[in-house]
């Protein structure tokens, strides 16, 4: 084929060296890797959702409803491990980040395309190990996703394989972060100063640093679990001089920053969406960029707020409680800037914006309830109750996942070159938003009433809350099915979308939809800032 043909061929058709499925699983094209990740994480999301639905069904009435206690323990462990390590952590950076970061920078790929592919392969290997841990040995892990000692050292369930899987997943995440940091440093098109980088890029930059600096601690922590189980060194065993609380320190040194690996990219997506649909320059570009770095840094200081009731020193409880409130500052900076961007904008209520608005609302509830658990005094009351479960689902599902759905609806036309049915998308969003609150708000109430988390049974006075919550889970399921069905229909029979259906200003919208293999036909030129909408021509193909 001649070169001009190959240049306009979209990345879907341009197979490169291999053909068939090998042109996907051995690709070094960041867009194909992004899609591999997208389909992988969404499949795992489906698995996690099904287990979540089963858990809610079990909890519809006190006592054993559909499963026994041990199965329920496996359920919440697997739900947590799958959702955290296999879905949420890779979700936005590895899928949407891979797809759009290089394009937003005007680059033709990430800095290390082969390491990018390796990162997906490691993800698949980790995934396989975790699946093996479910179905072999003496049963699925029952420790919760946190693998707390001493139970994780002594349970006979298949923890060994699972922690090695988590170790490998950690490396996959590190390689993504390493790649993105280098890409942002080295691959920007000429003229793109640091203050011209789209804020999604800034979010991924901050996330990359957390991935690089915090994830290794998780690596060594789960490795130590493995070593303790196989060799009995005793580092966390009081009988041998160890200190189990130190396990919790190590675990949360990673896992608290990890919640910012989860949510900062979603904030980046929301920051991209809001100015486009408010037709206004983002309010406070530098404040938002710096607040991403600020969250990343402050998030590394506060891990021990997960341990207020673990027997830490009172001094540590007070210091970490105080430090926790610092994280609220950069988070609030973002929320205020988003709202200020919307203020007096000419708002177009398209599906991506609806998801972004839902993000702001749900994440604000998540963040404010976070202050309740971050304050040592109130935490003593709600620790390990459904309040905490409600809180982190508001931040992670309401935050990260709604952000990801918003990003999917925003970039969908760029990925597939087609548009989904916007009316159905709006309906699905409404169902999801209502279902979400019906599902999780009762958990906040249940928690304050004293319902402990991770229990498969409960006292009759908690039943009303549980029934409402379970009904909410069904509404969410309907919303998810409708949303994905609508997107699937869009891929199959959607209207052609054109280059720039949203009239956005970042570079990925200047190329074809779907983009060619090397992203741009001509070397792109940076003619405007990422949020300067003046003079953007209406896309002729799609209104």
User: What SS3 class is residue 495?
Assistant: strand
DSSP annotation of 490 reads: H
Of 57, 245, 526, 536, the residue at the interface with another protein (CB under 8 A) is 245
Query: Which tokens hold the place of 328?
Result: 């609220």
Candidates 308-316, 408-416, 439-447, 527-535; binding stretch for another protein (CB under 8 A): 308-316
| Contact (CB, 8 A) for 210 and 258 | yes
The answer to whether 150 contacts another protein (rule: CB under 8 A) is: no
Give the residue among 187, 176, 137, 128 at the shortest CA–CA distance from 159: 137
DSSP annotation of 189 reads: P
| Total interface residues for another protein by CB under 8 A | 57
| Number of other CB atoms surrounding residue 349 within 10 Å | 11
The answer to whether 316 contacts another protein (rule: CB under 8 A) is: yes
The answer to whether 259 contacts another protein (rule: CB under 8 A) is: no
User: What SS3 class is residue 346?
Assistant: coil
Sign (positive or negative) of CA dihedral 382, 383, 385, 386: positive
357 vs 335: CA distance, rounded Å = 10
- Number of residues in the chain: 543
Site for another protein in 164-183 (CB under 8 A): 174, 177-179, 181-182
60 vs 66: CA distance, rounded Å = 10
Burial code (b: 16+ CB inside 10 Å, e: under 16) for 113-131 equals beebbbbbbbbebbbebbb
To 10 degrees, the CA torsion angle through 348, 349, 352, 354? 140
271 vs 194: CA distance, rounded Å = 16
CB of 131 to another protein, least distance (A): 26
| Number of other CB atoms surrounding residue 313 within 10 Å | 10
CB of 249 to another protein, least distance (A): 5
Candidates 191-199, 276-284, 311-319, 378-386; binding stretch for another protein (CB under 8 A): 311-319
| Contact (CB, 8 A) for 461 and 449 | yes
Of 301, 424, 468, 536, the residue at the interface with another protein (CB under 8 A) is 301
CB of 215 to another protein, least distance (A): 7
| Contact (CB, 8 A) for 118 and 49 | no
The answer to whether 518 contacts another protein (rule: CB under 8 A) is: yes
CB of 108 to another protein, least distance (A): 6
Candidates 207-215, 420-428, 459-467, 491-499; binding stretch for another protein (CB under 8 A): 207-215
The answer to whether 242 contacts another protein (rule: CB under 8 A) is: yes
CB of 224 to another protein, least distance (A): 8
Cβ proximity to another protein: between 179 and 469 the closer is 179
Cβ proximity to another protein: between 112 and 121 the closer is 112
CB of 329 to another protein, least distance (A): 18
223 vs 72: CA distance, rounded Å = 26
CA 60 from centroid of its chain's CA atoms: 28
Cβ proximity to another protein: between 167 and 359 the closer is 167
The answer to whether 220 contacts another protein (rule: CB under 8 A) is: yes
CB of 301 to another protein, least distance (A): 6
CB of 218 to another protein, least distance (A): 9
The answer to whether 213 contacts another protein (rule: CB under 8 A) is: yes
Site for another protein in 221-240 (CB under 8 A): 221, 224, 227, 231-235, 240
| Contact (CB, 8 A) for 257 and 182 | no
Candidates 32-40, 43-51, 310-318, 421-429; binding stretch for another protein (CB under 8 A): 310-318
Q: What are phi and psi of 10, to 5 degrees?
A: -75, 160
Of 166, 214, 269, 432, the residue at the interface with another protein (CB under 8 A) is 214
List of residues contacting another protein (CB under 8 A): 107-109, 111-113, 115, 174, 177-179, 181-182, 185-187, 209, 212-217, 219-221, 224, 227, 231-235, 240-243, 245-246, 249-250, 253, 300-301, 303-304, 307, 312-316, 319-320, 518, 520, 523
């Amino acid at each position: 084929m001649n070169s001009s043909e190959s240049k306009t061929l979209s990345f879907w058709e341009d197979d490169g060296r291999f053909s068939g499925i090998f042109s996907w699983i051995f690709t070094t094209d960041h867009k194909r890797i992004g899609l591999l990740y997208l389909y992988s994480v969404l499949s795992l999301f489906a698995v996690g959702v099904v287990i979540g639905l089963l858990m809610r069904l079990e909890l519809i009435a006190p006592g054993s409803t559909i499963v026994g206690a041990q199965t329920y323990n496996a359920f919440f462990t697997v739900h947590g491990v799958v959702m955290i390590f296999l879905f949420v952590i890779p979700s936005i950076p590895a899928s949407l980040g891979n797809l759009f970061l290089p394009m937003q920078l005007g680059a033709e790929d990430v800095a290390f395309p082969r390491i990018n592919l390796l990162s997906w392969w490691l993800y698949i290997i980790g995934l396989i190990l975790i699946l093996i841990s479910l179905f072999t040995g003496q049963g699925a892990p029952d420790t919760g996703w946190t693998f707390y000692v001493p139970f994780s050292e002594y349970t006979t369930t298949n923890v060994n394989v699972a922690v090695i899987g988590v170790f490998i997943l950690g490396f996959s995440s590190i390689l993504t972060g390493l790649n993105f940091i280098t890409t942002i440093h080295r691959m920007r098109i000429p003229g793109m100063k640091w203050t011209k980088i789209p804020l999604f890029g800034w979010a991924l930059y901050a996330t990359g640093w957390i991935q690089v600096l915090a994830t290794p601690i998780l690596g060594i922590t789960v490795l130590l679990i493995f070593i303790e189980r196989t060799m009995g060194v005793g580092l966390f065993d009081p009988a041998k001089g160890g200190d189990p609380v130190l396990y919790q320190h190590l675990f949360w040194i990673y896992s608290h920053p990890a919640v910012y690996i989860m949510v900062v990219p979603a904030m980046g997506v929301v920051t991209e969406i809001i100015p486009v649909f408010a037709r206004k320059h983002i309010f406070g570009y530098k404040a938002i960029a710096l607040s991403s770095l600020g969250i990343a840094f402050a998030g590394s200081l506060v891990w021990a707020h997960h341990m207020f009731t673990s027997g830490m020193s009172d001094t540590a409880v007070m210091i970490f409680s105080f430090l926790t409130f610092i994280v609220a500052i950069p988070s609030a900076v973002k929320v205020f800037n988003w709202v200020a961007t919307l203020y007096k904008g000419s708002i177009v209520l398209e599906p991506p914006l609806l998801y972004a608005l839902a993000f702001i609302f749900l994440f604000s509830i998540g963040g404010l309830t976070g202050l309740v658990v971050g304050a040592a005094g109130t935490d003593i009351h709600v620790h390990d109750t459904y309040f905490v479960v409600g809180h982190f689902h508001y931040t992670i599902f309401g935050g990260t996942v709604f952000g990801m759905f918003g990003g999917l609806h925003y970039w969908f036309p760029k990925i597939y070159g087609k548009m989904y049915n916007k009316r159905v998308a709006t309906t699905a969003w409404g169902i999801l938003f209502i279902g979400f609150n019906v599902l999780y708000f009762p958990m906040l109430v249940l928690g304050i009433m004293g319902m402990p988390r991770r229990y498969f049974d409960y006292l009759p006075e908690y039943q009303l809350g549980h029934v409402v919550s379970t009904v909410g889970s069904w509404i969410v399921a309907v919303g998810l099915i409708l949303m994905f069905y609508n997107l699937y229909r869009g891929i199959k029979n959607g209207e052609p979308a054109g280059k720039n259906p949203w009239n956005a200003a970042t570079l990925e919208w200047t190329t074809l939809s779907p983009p060619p293999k090397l992203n741009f036909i001509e070397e792109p030129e940076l003619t405007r800032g990422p949020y300067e909408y003046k003079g953007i021509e209406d896309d002729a193909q799609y209104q």
